[in-house]
Amino acid sequence: MSDKNEEIEKKVSEQSGIPGQRKEVNVENYPEAQSLGQLLKDVNFPVRKEEIMNHVKQKVGTDTQASNIMNKLAGLEDKEYKNAADVTKAMGIVST
């Protein structure tokens, strides 16, 4: 596991110990969720799949993680997404 992945896992573990209200979610792939969040941070939601694809395509470049995300985005249902969380759920990266 890379240092970055270990750092992400450590932060998530620390946050899990903080008392208070929280919604339980399962994150299947933290690095992928982080990459997707970075790619979608400038998107003006709500948007349709095609707009997400166009936005990400402009940012992907040669980054392998982003290319993998692009391939998964292609499999999304053609509908309007309210926010990045909607996209991560639809992609199966995050589940509740």
How confident is the model over 61-92, as pLDDT tens digits? Answer: 656 666 778 888 999 999 999 999 899 999 98
pLDDT attached to residue 75: 92
Q: Where are the alpha helices (DSSP H) in 30-63?
A: 30-40, 49-60
pTM of the predicted protein model: 0.68
Position 14 scores a pLDDT of 67
The candidate with the shortest Cα–Cα distance to 58, out of 37, 47, 43, 75, is 43
pLDDT digits over 11-62, tens only? Answer: 766 666 666 655 566 777 788 888 888 889 999 999 999 999 988 888 876 5
Q: Return the domain boundaries, the chain.
A: 31-96
